[in-house]
Amino acid sequence: NAGVTQTPKFQVLKTGQSMTLQCAQDMNHNSMYWYRQDPGMGLRLIYYSASEGTTDKGEVPNGYNVSRLNKREFSLRLESAAPSQTSVYFCASNEGETGELFFGEGSRLTVL
Amino acid sequence: GESVGLHLPTLSVQEGDNSIINCAYSNSASDYFIWYKQESGKGPQFIIDIRSNMDKRQGQRVTVLLNKTVKHLSLQIAATQPGDSAVYFCAEINDYKLSFGAGTTVTVRA
């Protein structure tokens, strides 16, 4: 079991460029999440998907789009990157009924 | 707005001593709380959870205490080890989504 796998681990973008963060889980979980982590602010929920075919906004969705491609995969897209989106992004998954989220290793994004 | 937060951003503890990490929450409707540990360069890992119908729950070297009267949550780590150095987050469940506090960085002194 690999758990939750995120790619890429590191990325540098210029303002206005677009990119997609990929996430896959092999635990057959129904729910998947994207968080961003900034210094001193903990983790903030960007988008989540309670089940395949559904997505919902979290606390900080502006500037992002998501796709729940199938039960395993949940991608996060930045259409026009801004310096304020410099952060570490974490994908997570769970069954949806318990709080035990399983996290990926994170993707460190820098927007210049 | 309602949020989950931690009292102190940093905690330095001597190896072998007990650690206590505190968290205050403001959403009185929350009924499920979790502690996560995040080591440098890694994603958060589940430590222990507690439901609002409990006051205390114990795990391996860890104990979580919940005081609903003052909306306070704490994590106690017994006999702190160097491997316990990490950032610790409390989180609350609301409509199946977790809200995290800012975290406490624990440093263990040899």
Give B90→chain A minimum CA distance, Å. Answer: 10
Task: Please give the Cα distance from B90 to B79 (Å, whole number).
Answer: 20
B3: three-class secondary structure by DSSP: coil
- Residues 6 or more apart in contact with residue A64 via CB below 8 angstroms: A34, A46, A47, A76, A77, A78
Tell me which range, A79-83, A92-96, B6-10, B40-44, is most confidently predicted by mean pLDDT: A79-83
Q: Is B40 on the interface with A (CB under 8 A)?
A: no
Angstrom distance (rounded) from CA B38 to CA B43: 6
Query: For position B3, what pLDDT does the model report?
Result: 47
Three-state secondary structure readout of A36-63: EECCCCCEEEEEEECCCCCCEECCCCCC
The residue type at B107: T
pLDDT at B89 over 70: yes
> Chain B contacts of A60, Cβ < 8 Å?
none
The pLDDT of residue A83: 97
Report d(CA A90, CA A7) in Å as an integer: 10
